[in-house]
Structure 1
Amino acid sequence: MKCSGFPKAERLRRSAAIQRVFRKGKKYYGERIKLFILQNEHKTNRVVFTFPKNYGNAVERNYSRRLCREVYRRYKRNLAFGYDMAILIFPGNDSFPERKKHLEILFRKAGLWSDIHE
């Protein structure tokens, strides 16, 4: 199994689990992005990417989701393990370097980022 993939075990899928992260999770705010984290009892991180209702059409949402998923997939080795994360993405200029910068800033604020594997 590739360590750089994005397997189903790393996806936060159940509605109850997602709601628990939004209700009980710690919030970190960034530019056009918000991070909710909650410790879990797993050895991996589980993540969901979500959008507000006013975020463009399906094409724009899916493109933004793919960008964020790719940033997460490439840099997940730099993150601490054992967290459920909900990443709320707001409309804005979508580009890979922009999303990487914004997510890295949020992960650093949350104390999850380490530069060991860059």
Structure 2
Amino acid sequence: MEADLLKTGRFKREEHIKRPADIQKLFKTGKRVSVAGAKLFYMLNDRNINRIGFPLPRGYGNAVERNTSRRYSRETYRFFKTHLNTGYDMLLLVYPGNDSFQSRCEKFKTLCQKAGLLKD
């Protein structure tokens, strides 16, 4: 079973950005790219892994919608993480609207291409 988790690119604890100070730093000093309905804040970190957080804007639906949105975002990152350059902190900010896993993947891929985070 553990071999299956490694194949799918498990989202590990050390890949989460949870400290409010780290999130504020990314919002204030990080670079940003955007597409309709989403923004990606990113900056280099001093690590050999990527870290990511999924904040939601104020007023983003009810608890079910917020949890579903975070789940889509985590799964999207997990799907793309092997295709990303390492050493970055990122925040994926998604705005309310018609959303699906497919559209989230397309938005994240476009954002990463704009930011130059995808491997060649």
TM-score (norm 1): 0.93
Q: 2:15: which partner in 1?
A: 10
Structure 2: give runs of 5+ residues left out of the alignment.
none
Structure 2 residue aligned with 1:26, among 9, 28, 31? 31
Question: What is the alpha-carbon root mean square deviation over aligned residues?
Answer: 1.2
Deviation for aligned residue 1:90: 0.3
Q: Distance in 1 between matches of 2:65 and 2:21?
A: 26
The count of aligned residue pairs is 115
Q: 1:105: which partner in 2?
A: 110
- Cα deviation, 1:17-61, whole Å, max 9, x if unaligned, reads 111111100011111101100100000000000111121011101
Structure 1 residue aligned with 2:83, among 31, 55, 78? 78
Q: 1:96: which partner in 2?
A: 101
Greater per-residue helix proportion = 2
Deviation for aligned residue 1:95: 1.0
Deviation for aligned residue 1:63: 0.1
- SS, match of residue 54 in structure 2: strand
Where does structure 1 differ by over 4 angstroms across 4 or more consecutive aligned residues? none
Query: Residue 58 of structure 2 aligns to which amino acid in structure 1?
Result: K
Q: 1:56: which partner in 2?
A: 61
2:50 counterpart of 1:39? no
Q: Distance in 1 between matches of 2:58 and 2:18?
A: 19
TM-score (norm 2): 0.91
Deviation for aligned residue 1:114: 2.8
**Percent of aligned pairs with the same residue?**
45
Deviation for aligned residue 1:13: 1.1
After TM superposition, the structure 1 stretch with the greater mean CA deviation from structure 2, 36-45 or 89-98, is 89-98
Deviation for aligned residue 1:113: 1.3
